[in-house]
Amino acid sequence: MRVLSSVRHVAILGAGPAGLTAAIYAARALLAPVVFEKGVPGGQLNETDQIENWPGTGGPVSARDLMAALRRQAEELGTEIVAAEVTALEPGDATHRVVTTASSVEARTVIVCPGARPREIRVPGADRLKGRGVSYCATCDGYFFRDRPIVVLGAGDAALTEALFLTRFASRVAVVVRHPENDPRAVRASATVRRRAAENPKIEFLWNRSVEEIVGDASVTGLRLRRLDTGEIEEVPADGVFVSIGRDPQTDFLRGVLELEDGYIVTDERMRTSVAGVFAAGDGRLGARAYSQAIVAAGEGAVAALEAERYVLDELVGVAR
């Protein structure tokens, strides 16, 4: 395994909004950060069509373009981005060791920004038909369902945003919601997104229903839904099922290393984890999971980088003394 030369001031695990923002702040502090990312820098936003609430853009902006701009800015300021998956974090006293599939590095501070992946639905037919009509990425697969009926599972911001995006292609988009229409918990999306979805003529809400099965042989042909008020089973024809029911943090490699709760990294308000010199930010952090917003992750990345800078300076001053 290749060992990256010298001890780094800051190693950042993940290149989503949190990681790239942390890199920008750390680079501006002349800490020469190294960022490890197993996929394309930008994280889950590479699978999103547009961001409509990023400050200063004046309106919708391409998520991929925004993440590409953050990456360019980080690199121009002196960030090194390494394409590799982090497999282990080994805490130490003066430094921490980051082990990846390609190399390892010693760093005085580590900022962990692992993000979260889409949660898969566990009903009959879902695994078997994944990639054959069952999708977890509307921007990746929506194009293949032109003029065809589809169903969206989920009622949060992400689900309704995907439903709106899919109306560009599909003949009809049915959104399955587990709660009755008059239940204030039914739809957890922002008021603007709810209104746009309600006003879109292609979107139909199927209230108070749960998914019993996704049906199809070679590909999806429909769903079996249970009406939760009567117990009645109904068949809903569909050529595609887009699932948006939450995310799971990508923190398996941190089990037994950092304090976790339900898989999410526990920190204080300064993004400090249970290990001194290790910080966390973004969707994999316990306090951020209620929001899952790019701007929140970016803000946390900035805080983590500022705290890492303070930690490095304190350590270097202590050594000098």
CB-based burial label for 134 (10 Å; 0-12, 13-18, 19+): buried
> Can you tell me the distance from the alpha carbon of 315 to that of 321, in angstroms, rounded to the nearest whole number?
10
Count of Cβ atoms closer than 10 Å to residue 236 Cβ: 17
For residues 154 and 243, the answer to whether their CB atoms sit within 8 Å is: yes
Angstrom distances, CA of residue 266 to CA of 1, 177, 200, 269, 277: 31, 31, 40, 10, 14
**Active site annotation includes 113:** no
Q: Could you say which of 49, 93, 127, 137 is catalytic?
A: 137
Greatest distance between any 2 Cα atoms in the chain: 75
Residue 67, pLDDT score: 92
Residue 175, pLDDT score: 98
Q: Could you say which of 49, 113, 141, 239 is catalytic?
A: 141
Count of Cβ atoms closer than 10 Å to residue 37 Cβ: 24
> Can you tell me the distance from the alpha carbon of 241 to that of 126, in angstroms, rounded to the nearest whole number?
9
Residue 5, pLDDT score: 58
Residue among 42, 47, 14, 15 nearest 243 (CA) = 47
Residue 4, pLDDT score: 59
Give, for all 321 residues of the chain, the pLDDT tens digit.
565 558 999 999 999 999 999 999 999 999 999 999 998 887 777 767 778 778 888 888 888 899 999 999 999 999 999 999 999 999 999 999 999 998 899 999 999 999 888 889 999 999 999 999 999 988 888 999 999 999 999 999 889 999 999 999 999 999 999 999 999 889 988 899 999 999 999 999 999 999 999 999 999 999 999 999 999 999 999 999 999 998 889 999 999 999 999 999 999 999 999 999 999 999 999 988 667 788 999 999 999 999 999 999 987 766 543
Residue 246, pLDDT score: 85
Q: Could you say which of 49, 65, 93, 140 is catalytic?
A: 140
> Can you tell me the distance from the alpha carbon of 271 to that of 302, in angstroms, rounded to the nearest whole number?
10
> Can you tell me the distance from the alpha carbon of 53 to that of 230, in angstroms, rounded to the nearest whole number?
40
Pairing of strands 61-62, 80-83: unpaired
| pTM given for the model | 0.79
Residue type, 179: H
Task: Read off φ and ψ for residue 200, nearest 5 degrees.
Answer: -80, 125
